[in-house]
Amino acid sequence: MKKSDRLISKIRNLPDSPGVYKFLDSKRKIIYIGKAISLKKRVASYFRHGKAADNRLELLRKEVKDVDYITASSEAEALIYEAGLIKDHCPKFNIELKDDKSYPFLKLSLNEKYPRLIVTRRRQKDGAIYYGPYVNVKLLKEAVSFMKIVFPLRSCRVFKKKVCLEYHIDQCYGPCEGKISLNEYSNTVKQLKKFLEGKKDDLVENMRLGMKKASDKKKYEKAINIKRRIEALTAVQQLSDRSQRPVFGELDELKNVLNLRDMPLRIECFDISNISGYQSVGAMVTFVAGRASRSEYRRFRIKESCPRDDYSMICEVVNRRYTRMIKENRKMPDVIMIDGGRGHLSVANSELKKMGLEDLVVISIAKEHNHLYGPSWEGPLRLSPGSRLLSLIQRIRDEAHRFAITYHRKLRKNEKFVTELINIKGIGKSRERMLMEKFGSIDSIIKMSAEELGSSGIGKGSAIAVKKYFERRQ
């Protein structure tokens, strides 16, 4: 079905970011509302040639004359906007949420002196405001986790006499001990309502004005707190991949583990890759709000460091990165991560100290046992397998490793290069390439078992030959 040139042009110019889209008919009445990880891809999919369509979709296609949208920082945020808009406009093609009994709501208990934001499956006439219902419970929990950080209202059912753990981890203002005035608390409730109604731009602008007023009155702690909340609200969306959603729960865990004042929204991670000391490269990846920010990745071809010395190479890339950051007067990361153990962490800290950047937070993650090392910890932190925090740290570390290997592969492709693997009987250029692409360096290959070497695809016999070769060489 051919759409008008105006509609086609509008779809092509939709942003490749999360948000809510609204289909409008010829009278500009909203007939369907949906959320998307990528507005451009999702909306375009409705009108793709050859796409199989049921009767309902075909009818929707015929009635759509225009499209409007609201951008969001994440799919979880888009979920909040979607449900609120469906409730307000009742589009005729949104049939999924007619049975309110099956899905949870968000309840803002305005019937209480200090309102709470809670998830409930019962909608009552009790003076509270209800948002929803929400189909995706997992995304709803993620959204609530984020809102607890930006709008730290109390969550306790019974008003307590002393502040609890939530106050100490900055997820509650502590009204039970008078840590916040009723007026300020009520203002936060109004801000949360704006967010739930999809008025984030207005909210951020009002918060910026509040931050300036606090600063002008020399209430610097209040101004910093508002600034932190604005940063969380305006975290930039770089990718549309589901795996790259904001992960505020995990970041909050990292904040607590590292005893940070603010949430570590910006993380930079370094990795070194080399083949027996030759063509050594460094790589740095940047994650913003738990999402990869590919435009800010950086590659380093090692220039001055001693071959096969990971420590000196870490020092070189760290120095080059932050010397440039200082020169360009750019904001430093909240956390620096090094792929390595305690030694790698120590040399990175020493290098930063020489540069006058000893206040930067640096951690390292060791591959072997996934141990996390901090600058002042007596021993490593052993993260539980399958934990959300370990998953985030591994994802960042693995992305840095992937980026380093990709750069290495590019250098090998552009230059004539032969490793000592070629000396092993049965290992030709093809198997050499398979091993190097899998493990990245001769040093890594030496540490592998025959079974692990075989996982590269070179075969059991060749794997045993490689293992024996390096055992004899030692």
Question: Concatenated DSSP letters for 84-149?
Answer: HHHHHH--TT--TTS-GGGS-EEEE-TTSSS--EEEES---SSS-EEE---S-HHHHHHHHHHHHH
> CB atoms < 10 A from the CB of 253, how many?
18
What confidence score (pLDDT) does residue 241 get? 41
Instruction: Say what the pTM is.
Output: 0.48
More reliable by pLDDT, 378 or 190: 190
- For residue 79, name the pLDDT band (cuts at 50, 70, 90): confident
Q: Is a pLDDT exceeding 90 seen at residue 23?
A: yes
Q: How far apart are CA 273 and CA 280, in angstroms?
A: 6
What confidence score (pLDDT) does residue 243 get? 43
Structural contact between residues 83 and 134, judged by C-beta atoms closer than 8 angstroms: yes
Q: How far apart are CA 269 and CA 337, in angstroms?
A: 4
Angle between helices 5-12 and 39-46 (to 10 degrees): 150
What confidence score (pLDDT) does residue 318 get? 93
Q: Is a pLDDT exceeding 80 seen at residue 101?
A: no
Q: How far apart are CA 128 and CA 344, in angstroms?
A: 54
More reliable by pLDDT, 373 or 141: 373
More reliable by pLDDT, 210 or 133: 210
As given in the structure block, the two tokens for residue 429 are: 């250029």
pLDDT tens digits, residue range 433-470? 788 777 767 777 888 888 888 888 888 888 888 888 88
Q: Is a pLDDT exceeding 70 seen at residue 19?
A: yes
Phi-psi sector, 410: left (phi>0), alpha (psi -120 to 50), beta: alpha
Pairing outcome for strands 362-366 and 335-339: parallel
What confidence score (pLDDT) does residue 236 get? 44
More reliable by pLDDT, 412 or 240: 412
What confidence score (pLDDT) does residue 276 get? 47
What confidence score (pLDDT) does residue 224 get? 78
Q: Helix, strand, coil % (nearest 5) of the chain?
A: 50, 15, 35
- For residue 362, name the pLDDT band (cuts at 50, 70, 90): very high
Q: Is a pLDDT exceeding 90 seen at residue 142?
A: no
pLDDT tens digits, residue range 252-264? 778 888 888 778 8
Q: Is a pLDDT exceeding 50 seen at residue 242?
A: no
What confidence score (pLDDT) does residue 425 get? 82
Residues 50-73, mean pLDDT to the nearest whole number: 77
Poorest-confidence range of 208-217, 348-357, 400-409? 400-409
What confidence score (pLDDT) does residue 419 get? 67
Structural contact between residues 11 and 47, judged by C-beta atoms closer than 8 angstroms: yes
Residues 312-330, mean pLDDT to the nearest whole number: 90
What confidence score (pLDDT) does residue 277 get? 46
Q: Is a pLDDT exceeding 90 seen at residue 199?
A: no
Residues 3-10, mean pLDDT to the nearest whole number: 77
Q: How far apart are CA 54 and CA 433, in angstroms?
A: 48
CA distances from 451 to 445, 446, 447, 454 (A): 12, 13, 12, 5
Which domains are present in the chain?
Answer: 5-98 (3.40.1440.10), 139-233 (no CATH), 249-409 (3.30.420.340), 418-473 (1.10.150.20)
- For residue 244, name the pLDDT band (cuts at 50, 70, 90): very low
First to last CA, the chain: 70
CA dihedral 25, 26, 28, 32 (to 10 degrees): 0
Report the mean per-residue pLDDT for the chain: 81
Q: Report the share of the chain in percent with pLDDT over 70.
A: 86
Highest mean pLDDT among 162-171, 293-302, 325-334, 400-409: 325-334
What confidence score (pLDDT) does residue 102 get? 62
**Which residues, in sequence order, are bridge partners of residue 119?**
106
Residues 131-149, mean pLDDT to the nearest whole number: 79
Structural contact between residues 132 and 107, judged by C-beta atoms closer than 8 angstroms: no
**Which residues, in sequence order, are bridge partners of residue 288?**
266, 291
Residues 292-312, mean pLDDT to the nearest whole number: 76
Q: How far apart are CA 442 and CA 419, in angstroms?
A: 8
Q: What is the DSSP letter of 419?
A: -
As given in the structure block, the two tokens for residue 401 are: 């490793």
Output b/e per residue, 84-103; b: 16+ Cβ within 10 A: bbbbeeebebbeebeeeeeb
Residues 322-332, mean pLDDT to the nearest whole number: 89
Burial (CB < 10 A; 0-12, 13-18, 19+), residue 314, is buried
As given in the structure block, the two tokens for residue 380 are: 């490593």
Q: How far apart are CA 331 and CA 348, in angstroms?
A: 19
More reliable by pLDDT, 93 or 367: 93
